[in-house]
Amino acid sequence: MFGNRSLLKMIEKAYGQNPLKGYLYYNAENRLDKVRKYHDDLTESEDPDWIVDEITWNDLEMDKVFLRINHTNSFIGEQVLYHRLHVLDGATLPEAENGKAGIEKRLEYYESNPQKRAAIEARLQYIGKLDEGYYLSDFLMNSIGFKLGNPVIYHCLQIMLAVFFVLSIISENVIFIALAVATALANLAIYVSVKQKYDVYFNSLIEFKKIFDFVRWMDRNDNDCAIMTEEAGRALKNLGKMSWIISGMSGRKQASLSGDVLALMREYIWGVLLIDVSMFNYIMRIIDGKQDEVFCLLNLAGGIDADIAVASYRNSIGKSGQNWCSPEYASSGITAVKIAHPLISDPVTNDFTLSDRAVLTGANASGKSTFMKSMAINCILAQAINTCVAERFEMQPLIVITCMALRDDILTGESYYYREAKCIKRMLDLIVDEDRVLVVIDEILKGTNTAERIAASKAIMDYIAATGCLTLIATHDRELTENSAYKNYHFRNTIKDGDIVFDYLIHEGRNEQSNAIDLLTHLGYPDEVVEGARRYCK
């Protein structure tokens, strides 16, 4: 069961390390477009409100968070982990497969059984991360669309070849011999014409076979971790014939690739008989009728890999001297103790309770945006993987939606203000029907003139306050701190020896301090500029 000792030793050494460092990175950033294909395919069947939308995902730099957690060994593990980080209700539903109790049971098993975990990882490495694998979900979800031509015509040609061949032997008639040869040539032409497609498509089937073999191995060796399910057992049984067919076809393909003359001759004989093409179409029909069982195996294999990645992530946080915790769930609000941003190696932590709405003020680079991202990301991680970068984290189940990092769109011609207005509008549309929402807005409506910005911002804040959603808004406009429906918090800075110094700690109340003009003095601005600024500020 335990495989190659040197491989297992390497796997164990890598466990609990930061995957962004060393060989574990696998150049993953360059294949994110492939990784997200599985998520894109599955999103159509999920509740869109409880999926992290693309604006929020990009605002929070969740691709980087994914890469930080991504201690996976297989393409399907990467894809399942990426999708799981988008789904917000998985850990909050007791009956869900990825519910809190289920996650903790599995992660505890992997952490407590390093030898068996390493053996599982070794088997997952056999699946690997070949490019063909990342397109497997597209291939499997559209199996009928990947058929090679018309199976009925192929069967007719096979029957004709057999009949003409038999008749030519029995009768030794030149006409039947000619018809047999003509049919064989037609079959060969068809095989040659579809061979390139066949080779590409069949590579995807080989990737599925690897997953099937892994789940079958787990079924035979899962004697105490209880990861296998009855559904997966039925899927193995019902797809066993398909796996056997793929194995035979794969063996012939590997032999022909080796350059063996007899193997090449055998490949073209089978091509003339249209056997591989027909068998491929037969497999596609099986997949089309058993898609639920096929995806059961994909999700199981990918889920095991993703779970081990989360266990490794937790271990790596502990090794770095930071805190992590499993979240607790409450009826309302968010309470965080020593919360930190997961991508900062030596973070300043904060304690914070959000019971309704808050406005944050402070200078640029004082920590407002990082703090808000810390809150939002940890709300996502809590619900997606039952893990938070904090000493303690308690929250109600929440949809997380943000407007933080927009830019002008040159291609569409949309201005910053237009895009920001659209971004906030999607928030207002959501909270009309759903109050379990965390709304995060960084520097609300900063893309327009002061008078209209403040007027529109006040109206938006009033509208949000009339709902039951939780809200974090950062602003530089003091006028927005006067809304009694929002509690005020601020981040401080001081000027010391000509430099601006931040403590990165959140403080209650308004920020009465203003060092912006003082900083100009310390930076050596002309006296006329400094005095003019003070005069205009009065």
For position 465, what pLDDT does the model report? Answer: 95
Task: Indicate the residue type of 420.
Answer: E
Domain edge (last residue) among 285, 318, 351: 318
Decide if 209 is inside a domain.
Answer: yes
C-alpha to C-alpha distance for 402 and 472, rounded to whole angstroms: 9
* Same-domain pairing of 169 and 113: no
Calpha distance 283→285 (Å, rounded):
5
Residue 225 pLDDT exceeds 70: no
> CA 197, CA 186: separation in Å to the nearest integer?
18
Per-residue model confidence (pLDDT) at position 410: 47
**Residue 463 and residue 395 share a domain:** yes
The per-residue pLDDT for 382 is 95
What per-residue confidence (pLDDT) applies to 313?
96
Predicted confidence (pLDDT) at residue 117 exceeds the cutoff of 90: yes
* In-domain check, residue 435: yes
Selection from 58, 29, 28, 91 nearest residue 373 by Cα: 58
Kindly report the pTM of this predicted structure.
0.89
Of residues 207 and 260, the one with the higher pLDDT is 207
Indicate whether 454 and 351 sit together in one domain: yes
Within this chain, do residues 120 and 172 fall inside the same structural domain, yes or no? Answer: no
Q: Do 69 and 116 touch, CB atoms closer than 8 A?
A: no
Indicate whether 383 and 427 sit together in one domain. Answer: yes
Q: Helices (H), strands (E): how many in the chain?
A: 20, 10
- Residue 119 inside a domain? The answer is yes
Please count the residues of the chain.
538
Which pLDDT value is given to residue 255?
A: 64
What average pLDDT does the segment 354-369 reach? 92
Can you tell me the mean pLDDT for 397-415?
A: 75
Same domain, 122 and 192: no
- Region 470-476 average pLDDT: 95
Regarding whether 249 and 233 lie in a shared domain, the answer is: yes
Alpha-carbon distances, residue 29 vs 34, 339, 376, 448 (angstroms): 10, 27, 22, 35
Answer whether residue 323 is part of any domain: no
Q: Which residue has the higher pLDDT, 274 or 398?
A: 398
Query: pLDDT of 160-188, one tens digit each?
Result: 989 998 999 988 888 989 999 999 899 88
Instruction: Give the chain's mean pLDDT.
Output: 87
> Same structural domain for residues 400 and 364?
yes
502 and 417: one domain? yes
Q: Is residue 290 over pLDDT 80?
A: yes
Domain assignment present for 450 = yes
Identity of the amino acid at 173: N
213 within a domain of the structure (yes/no): yes
Same domain, 520 and 502: yes
Percent of residues, the chain, with pLDDT higher than 70:
90
pLDDT at 142: 75
Mean pLDDT for 326-342 is 94
* 400 vs 95, more confident: 400
Domain span at 507: 328-537
Tens digits of per-residue pLDDT, 226-236? 678 889 999 99
Of 318, 350, 366, at which residue does a domain stop?
318
Quote the pLDDT of residue 497. 73
pLDDT at residue 144 in the model: 67
Same domain for 57 and 183, yes or no, is no
Model confidence band, residue 270 (pLDDT cutoffs 50, 70, 90): confident
Query: What average pLDDT does this structure show over 286-295?
Result: 88
Distances (CA, A) of 433 to 48, 69, 296, 383: 13, 33, 33, 21
Confidence of residue 260 (pLDDT cuts 50, 70, 90): low
pLDDT in tens, 76-113: 999 999 999 999 875 555 444 456 778 888 899 999 99
pLDDT grade for 411, boundaries at 50, 70 and 90 = low
Assigned domain for 526 exists: yes
HSE, side-chain direction, 13 A CA sphere, residue 295: 18
Domain with residue 370: its CATH number is 3.40.50.300
Nearest to 367 by CA among 347, 381, 394: 347
- The confidence score (pLDDT) of residue 1 equals 44
Residue 142: DSSP 8-state: T
| Domain count within the chain | 3
pLDDT the model gives residue 2: 46
CB of 498 closer than 8 Å to CB of 515: no
Report helix, strand or coil for 474.
strand
CB burial string 73-109: b at 16+ within 10 A, e below: bbbbbbbbbbbbbbbbbbbbeeeeebbbebbeebbeb
Residues 179 and 126 in one domain: no
DSSP per position, 69-81: H---SSHHHHHHH
For residue 528, being part of any structural domain is answered with yes
Q: Is the pLDDT of residue 278 over 60?
A: yes
Q: What is the pLDDT of residue 466?
A: 94
